[in-house]
Amino acid sequence: MSVQVVILAGGQGKRMHSSIPKVLHHLAGKPLLEHVIDTALAIVPETPPVIVYGHQGKLLLERFSQRNLRWVEQKEQLGTGHAMLQALPEISDNTQVLVLSGDVPLITPNTLKKLLDTTPADAIGMLTAQLANPFGYGRIIRDNQQRIVAIVEEKDATAEVRVVTEINTGVYYFPVNYLRRWLPVLDNRNAQSEYYLTEVISKAVSEHIPLHSVQPAVIEEILGVNDRQQLAHLERYYQRQMAEKLMRQGVTLYDPQRFDLRGEAHIGRDVSIDVNVIFEGRVVIGDECEIGPNVLLRNVELAKGVRINANSVVEDAKIGPRCIIGPFARIRPGTVLAEQVHIGNFVEIKKSVVAHGSKVNHLTYIGDSEIGRDVNVGAGTITCNYDGVNKHKTIIGDNAFIGSCTQLVAPVTIGEGATIGAGSTITRDAPPHKLTLSRAPQVTLDDWQRPQKRKNGSQSE
């Protein structure tokens, strides 16, 4: 039988005190809802999930406009049962419905698979959990034969019910025909005057429909995000998991508590990562790379034996074998470095290709450039690539030597083996194998004297 996932995400998320919907807040660099969507598609890849949304639907639809999803609006937030009712017209007959919450981001495909695989046909599957502190959750009420008989919400619970530590996670697996029968007839006579999805459990019990329950592998899988403390808690949990996974694969993390992965990492052997390093997007790292402290890598590929020194930022770039970058370097999108290129402190490289063995070691800006092999770019060199309207290219041939403090006004080409005298402003192409410089002649004034301080003068004049 086919399975349809429904993700409930209509709630407001008041306790976030935020002007964006709760499910758009990020965990590990991606919206809470996207974690749930990705998990849903991991177990039911053939059918896009139905998402029930309420507040600020425009923001949600915009954020996920690139993805194939089915959206259902819940105009008024009248409760989880009402939310589910809105989704029913989207679900075909003879379907099994898997209900997830948009604010429970770390539920795993494994646990959901267990729920799907073990729930008997015609039964209702529920994911429940034991919590030391069950406050706030709906409690699972069982009879003396351990059969589930009801779910009671915290706000409706008597003191006797509140001591129950088995809770409803909000994840269920229903044959759709039950929902079609029960959801339209729910009432809202409860402490919150809401239509509770949990009420269908009492209806199932009264119709003697079997209930089956499954537990998650770890508690964090079912924890919801209602406020920013819970969000931070799950973020730390997730990061710890990622750090441990990398260490198991053979990566040295100087401090697993001070490493953050917001995306995916593919890391070779004998790579070491110092403290406060952040990876974003897709990061690929070859064998024997060393990542120094306080480094941000976003969508980068490092070949074998690259060293990224402290406080460097590398984004959308490809770095060749045994390059050395930083400390304090900024490598911007579109940069490709070949083998053994050295980029030093306070150097910014943007949309440029640098060939084998070239060095740009100090205080330099290279933009929209092609730099040949074994070039030496002196301290304080600037490629003036922008005329205020358009960007222009700088081309530097193999073995060129650019003296310090030079401005290369693009478009401009420096020939192979050319030498540019320090302090030059180069506005025309420089020929190969020659010294080119532009520099005001140096003068010395023999009869010049330093001004003397006036004897009676006030300093403010």
| Catalytic residue positions, numbered | 362
Output helix, strand, coil percentages for the chain, rounded to the nearest 5: 20, 35, 45
283 binds ligand UD1 (CB under 6 A): no
Q: Which of 11, 105, 286, 403 binds ligand UD1 (CB under 6 A)?
A: 11
Whether 39 and 108 have beta carbons less than 8 Å apart is answered as: yes
Cα→Cα distances 394→38, 96, 106, 210, Å: 44, 61, 48, 74
Binding mask 160-179 for ligand UD1 (x = CB under 6 A): -------xxxx---------
Give which of 270, 364, 342, 283 is closest to 317, Cα–Cα. Answer: 283
Choices 15-23, 218-226, 343-351, 429-437 (CB under 5 A): range interacting with Ca ion: 218-226
Q: Taking the complex as a whole, how short is the minimal distance between the CB of residue 298 and ligand UD1, in angstroms?
A: 30
Whether 22 and 225 have beta carbons less than 8 Å apart is answered as: yes
224 binds ligand UD1 (CB under 6 A): yes
80 binds ligand UD1 (CB under 6 A): yes
Whether 415 and 431 have beta carbons less than 8 Å apart is answered as: yes
82 binds ligand UD1 (CB under 6 A): yes
224 binds Ca ion (CB under 5 A): yes
138 binds Ca ion (CB under 5 A): no
**Judged by CB under 5 A, how many residues of this single chain contact Ca ion?**
1
Query: Per the structure block, which two tokens stand in for 4?
Result: 């349809």
Helices (H) and strands (E) in the chain, counts: 8, 35
Q: Taking the complex as a whole, how short is the minimal distance between the CB of residue 101 and Ca ion, in angstroms?
A: 6
**Binding partner of 251, given ligand UD1, Ca ion, none, CB within 5-8 angstroms per partner class:** none
Cα→Cα distances 65→40, 71, 106, 262, Å: 17, 11, 23, 21
Q: Taking the complex as a whole, how short is the minimal distance between the CB of residue 154 and Ca ion, in angstroms?
A: 11
Q: Which of 96, 111, 119, 198 binds ligand UD1 (CB under 6 A)?
A: 198
Q: Which of 5, 6, 8, 27 binds ligand UD1 (CB under 6 A)?
A: 8
Give the SS3 label for residue 235.
helix
197 binds ligand UD1 (CB under 6 A): yes
326 binds ligand UD1 (CB under 6 A): no
DSSP string, 392-421: --EEE-TT-EE-TT-EEESSEEE-TT-EE-
Binding mask 306-335 for Ca ion (x = CB under 5 A): ------------------------------
Give the SS3 label for residue 164.
coil
Residues that bind Ca ion (CB under 5 A): 224
Residues that bind ligand UD1 (CB under 6 A): 8-11, 52, 54, 74, 77-80, 82-83, 101-103, 137-138, 151, 153, 167-170, 196-198, 224
